[in-house]
Amino acid sequence: MATINISLPDSLKDFVEEQVNQRGYGTSSEYVRELIYKEQDRLQLRNLLLDGASSALTKRVDSAYFEGLRKKVRASKPGARR
């Protein structure tokens, strides 16, 4: 695993330490890693939405289509986080 050193103003350092304590992270590194993972997920979702918005139109969807998607989501098992 690589190491990155960052400099923070005291107010941000205090905030990070508070978040680590309140949210049950073991270290500030765990907290920062989680923030980065969330940002990666957000960017991936944004790109998927932009790809979908710019894609060609297909057939119309109805409530049965969305119910099928819901069933797939319910049936899927959550995988381990990174």
Q: What is the pTM of this model?
A: 0.66
Amino acid identity, position 80: A
Q: Which amino acid is at 68?
A: G
Task: Give residue-wise pLDDT tens across range 6-49.
Answer: 999 999 999 999 999 999 999 999 999 999 999 999 999 999 99
Helix (H) or strand (E) holding 31: helix 28-54
Kindly tell me if the per-residue pLDDT of 52 is higher than 80.
yes
Structure tokens at 19: 């978040």
CB 7 within 8 A of CB 16: no
